[in-house]
Amino acid sequence: MNKTDLLEIIRNGENSAVEFKRDDVQPVDFAKEIVAFLNFQGGVILLGIDDDCLATIRGTTRQNLEEWVVNICRDKVKPEVIPFYETFEVESKSVVVCTFSRGLYVHHLWHNHHRYYYIRVGSANREASSEELQRLFQQRGQIRFDLKSVPGATFEDLDMLRLKNYFRDIREQQIPPDDDMEAWQQLLVNTEIMATDQNRHIPSVGGILLFGKNPNRYLPQAGISASAYQGQEKDYKTIERDMIRGPVVARFNETGEIVDTGLVERAIEFVRRNTHSRSYLENGKRIDKPDYPSEAIREAVVNAIAHRDYTITGTDIEISIYNDRLEIVSPGRLPNIMTIERMKAGCRATRNELIKEVLRDYHYVEATGLGVPRKIIAGMLKHNGTEPDLIEEEYSFTVLLWKNRKYLK
């Protein structure tokens, strides 16, 4: 940072990445600001400026200020951090800039022998709720939600026909006899479909989602809400509305034919029923061209299932079909370090490793991580010359496919 940058920051005032403080701020309050920035996207704290509407430059007067800052970062902030510390002269007064990058871990304030977790919301800080805290740990890779045990669930909640199909036919490995429950449970624990909790074997979140007889009994957010509308906006009147439920994966017979569809197939079938094809002649042959290429639809649906944030309760994946577009909305921001630009470049980042790996075993997803650039973006450009919109918002990620060129803005 240079002085010009600093003056611009002061003029613009506080925001989600900038905080002003006088240097007589209490250590606990200063640590709260640091923790909130670390748990967000990072930020800068300017010491020597009033955090009022005028942003009055007071300057710093505290002796050994840098040592004071470093001690707070070591004693009050856990895991401890090292700030980037700079001093500038502004209006003949000293202003200190402490820059904090996004934390590698979830950080907390350690005070009075208790942990306090803070997050940044706009230009303010607040304690994280249990749901927000769980998502923070998941985003930092410190917990994997799909491996957590599902309270109340038992071995009997898993679909044995699908499990046998998976291990015997998809993975092509030996399976225990039907009546050897101990061997089956050990196999499922070893493959993370079940988890060990209090010396009991309990299905994991991923196991219930993939192979559960009724995933929504324990995970109400498991599933897809699908709607087809007549026009270009949401409306109470729909062509069709469906709550798509059940295990993620299908069951296949010995010849590879589907005998019992899963969530993926049911979602794709809903789109197929509620979109159209147009026919034309090419070199004397009849060509049927659907509104959207099947590979793009499949990839968008599978990605939504594999990468949604299952810690967000009370909301399904949403499929909305309008007369000009198809939208697939997945709850949760993009996982880990992923951005839209990185996604377009083929970067790989996973939120639900178990779910992704099992979907890969079934060949629902490819190993290269290039599904979005190859199947969705390139697929739509080849199909009708339109580029999909990829939209990340605070609590969701949307893939928007356009039906025709004329609807592009």
Query: Is 213 exposed, middle or buried, given 0-12, 13-18 or 19+ CB atoms closer than 10 A?
Result: middle
Domain final residue, candidates 217, 237, 253: 217
User: Do both 200 and 346 map to the same domain?
Assistant: no
Q: Are 376 and 310 in a shared domain?
A: yes
Confirm whether 137 is domain-assigned: no
pLDDT for 157: 96
Q: Is 7 inside any structural domain?
A: yes
Give pTM, 2 decimals.
Answer: 0.72
pLDDT at 409 over 70: no
> What distance in Å separates the CA atoms of residue 11 and residue 14, rounded to the nearest whole number?
9
User: Please, which residues bridge with residue 331 across strands?
Assistant: 396
pLDDT score of 51 more than 90: no
Among the residue ranges 133-147, 195-209, 327-341, the one predicted with the least confidence is: 133-147
Q: Are residues 392 and 248 in the same domain?
A: yes
* Domain final position from 217, 249, 268: 217
pLDDT at 408 over 60: no
| Cβ-contact 100, 43 below 8 angstroms | yes
Rounded to the nearest integer, the mean pLDDT of the chain is: 91
Domain coverage including residue 163: 146-217
Based on the fold, state whether residues 232 and 365 are members of the same structural domain: yes
Peptide bond into 247 cis (omega under 30): no
* Residue 47: per-residue pLDDT: 96
Among residues 76, 93, 128, the one where a domain terminates is: 128
Structure confidence at residue 104 (pLDDT): 73
State residue 334's pLDDT score: 87
Residues 241 and 338 in one domain: yes
Q: Are residues 247 and 296 in the same domain?
A: yes
Torsion angles phi and psi, residue 128, rounded to 5: -75, 140
Helix or strand or coil: residue 260?
Answer: strand
Q: Are both 156 and 243 inside the same structural domain?
A: no
Q: Is residue 154 part of a domain?
A: yes
> Is 136 contained in some domain?
no
In a domain, 365, yes or no: yes
Please indicate, yes or no, if residue 297 is contained in any of the structural domains: yes
Q: What is the mean pLDDT of residues 289-317?
A: 93
- 119 shares a domain with 7: yes
Do 304 and 393 lie in one domain? The reply is yes
**Per residue in 79-114, is it b (16+ CB within 10 Å) or e — as a string?**
eebebeeeebebeeebbbbbebeebeebbbbbeeee
Is 255 a domain residue? yes
Q: Provide the CA 267 distance to its chain's centre, in angstroms.
A: 20
If asked whether residues 98 and 41 sit together in one domain, one would say: yes
Give bridge partners of residue 158 from the DSSP assignment. Answer: 212
Number of domains in the chain: 3
Residues 253 and 399 in one domain: yes
Q: What percent of the chain has pLDDT over 70?
A: 97
Q: Please report whether residue 140 resides in a domain.
A: no
pLDDT at residue 211 tops 50 = yes
My answer on whether 192 and 318 are in the same domain is no
Tokens (6 digits) for 326: 């198809």
Q: Is 70 exceeded by the pLDDT of residue 405?
A: no
